[in-house]
Structure 1
Amino acid sequence: MCGQVWVRTLRRWARAVGRDAGMVTSEYAMGLIAAVGFAGLLYKVVTSGQVRAALQAVVEKALDVQF
């Protein structure tokens, strides 16, 4: 009995997932715009003076390590 319920549930889920096979063009465009916006924001943060100085300090500290 429980096995039949499980199989029916899986079949329903598979049919529901199969209907939506991917993003439509508008969803793809919105996702692309969001990704580009996030990349631009991340670039601005990473290239700011404070973050650049912190990253440079980390790299210099790593290069000064004696083995």
Structure 2
Amino acid sequence: MYRFVRTWMRALVARRARAARRDAGMVTSEYAMGIVAAVAFAVILHKVLTSGPVVAELQNIVKQALDARM
């Protein structure tokens, strides 16, 4: 019985190792897609935050915060 369990466990470990090697190349492409998405989001956020109305509103908020009296 012990020999059967040991053989079964070795087979299971070998199967998992083969599966891990098969998927190893996908990790790099997933990171690349994540970086592309993050850069695209940063570009959009930069465009929005540097637009005229948003800059004016942010300046008003800062001005009000600096003018506030305690």
User: TM-score per shorter chain, which class?
Assistant: 0.5 to 0.7
Larger radius of gyration: 2
Give the counterpart of 2:53 among 23, 34, 50: 50
Give CA-to-partner distance per residue, 1:31-52, whole Å, 9 cap, x none. 0000000001001100100000
Q: How many residues align?
A: 49
- Measure the CA separation in 2 of the matches of 1:40 and 1:49: 16
Q: Which runs of 4+ in 1 moved over 2 A?
A: none
Structure 1 gap segments, 5+ residues each? 1-18
Counterpart CA distance in 1 for 2:54 and 2:68 is 22
Q: Percent identity?
A: 62
Q: How big is each residue's C-alpha offset from its partner over 1:15-40, in whole Å with a ceiling of 9 and x where there is no partner?
A: xxxx68xx600010000000000001
Normalising to structure 2: TM-score of the pair?
0.62
Question: Which residue of the partner structure matches residue 25 of structure 1?
Answer: 28
**Comparing both structures, which one devotes a greater share of its residues to helix?**
2
- Cα RMSD between the aligned structures? 2.1
